[in-house]
Amino acid sequence: MQKINWYPGHMNKAKNQIEERLSLVDVVIEVLDARVPESSRNPVVAKLTENKPKVIVLNKSDLADPKLTKRWKNHYENETTVVVSLDSKHNSKLPELLKAIKQASAAKIEKLTQKGVVNPIIRAICVGIPNCGKSTILNRLVGKNVAVVGNKPGVTKNQNWLKVNQQIELLDTPGILWPKFEDPKVGMKLAAIGSIKETVFQFDDVALFLLDYLHAFYPKQLDKYLNTIEFDDNLPDLLMSMTQKFGFREDYDRYSYHFIQQVRKLKLGQFTFDFLTEVDHENDN
């Protein structure tokens, strides 16, 4: 399996800026992609922020397997971490996110109130990998387009304080990956959901990964999509059959890109590419 690595200079700069500003914030909002909760956790950022109260947002939950999103939510919640599942395209759960921020900062609010501070301001920093939906969430919270958004990774390049209300201020940060994916599957998963620039991976590699994964974990959805095409354990041959069947003639690479887009756009269904059993297995070791 091809290894995918992407770590531009601005990401290292952003990591250093996050580290420098942690002393200024009370709460960390870690935005994960609900389709790849564990794979979208930046281990470098997780280590930097481990001693801060935290709100984990399982974003884009409308694209993920609902049953697994619920399991991941239960997995991450603890005494210092509040978890919210969110569809960043709609406002329905934003009050729940605001409540979670206040819940995570309750100790700080109580401490300041006891000191006589009226309406204490809570400062939070928002972190996550590229294209996880951080800026869209912040725009919804603030109520206007103050953070740059886009469907491609690497849109946010700077860090900005955004005022949510009289009590909460948020610091937006660029999405950052980590220098090396130890597990090549992580790179494939992040490429599949669009968190890595398309110039650094081969479309057919990711398409073959998706075929293998969907056959293993979501066979009914894959069979429905294949329709009359019989599944072939020889995945490159299967992908070529799909290329021809769906009208792409011999353009294997162009169809590979098309298939990735079909998966992203829910044409095959809602999928989660991280299973808790994988984490449980690692913890057992």
10-residue mean pLDDT series, the chain (285 residues): 56 75 90 96 86 94 95 91 85 86 91 90 90 86 65 48 87 78 89 90 96 96 94 96 94 96 96 79 42
CA distance 227 to 64: 23
Q: 132 with 220, same domain? A: no
Separation between Cα atoms, residue 151 and residue 87, nearest integer Å: 15
| Domain match, 161 and 244 both | no
Question: What pLDDT is recorded for position 179?
Answer: 67
As for how many domains the chain has, the answer is: 2
What is each CA distance from 275 to 140, 172, 272, 281, in whole angstroms? 30, 29, 7, 10
- For 61-94, the pLDDT digits (tens) are 999 999 999 999 999 998 889 999 998 676 778 8
The annotation places the binding site at 59-62, 131-136, 175
Supply the pTM of this predicted model.
Answer: 0.86
What six digits make up the tokens of 280?
């449980």
The residue from 172, 189, 213 where one domain ends is 172
In a shared domain, residues 15 and 143: yes
Write down the pLDDT at residue 20: 81
Alpha-carbon distance of 29 to 179, in angstroms, equals 22
Residue 206 and residue 93 share a domain: no
One domain for residues 212 and 159: no
| Same domain (yes/no): 80, 210 | no
Q: Is residue 228 part of a domain?
A: yes
- Residues at the binding site for GTP are 59-62, 131-136, 175
- Cα(29)–Cα(52) distance, integer angstroms: 10
pLDDT in the model for residue 118: 87
Best CA proximity match to 186, nearest among 282, 88, 74: 282
Residues 157 and 217 in one domain: no
Taking alpha carbons only, the member of 29, 214, 213, 206 closest to residue 132 is 29
Q: Are 55 and 82 in contact (CB under 8 A)?
A: yes
- Both 111 and 36 in a single domain? yes
Q: Residue 279: its pLDDT value, please?
A: 54
| Residue 154: DSSP 8-state | T
Domain of residue 145: give its range.
9-172
pLDDT value for 157: 44
Give the whole-angstrom CA distance, residue 212 versus residue 121.
49
3 in any annotated domain: no
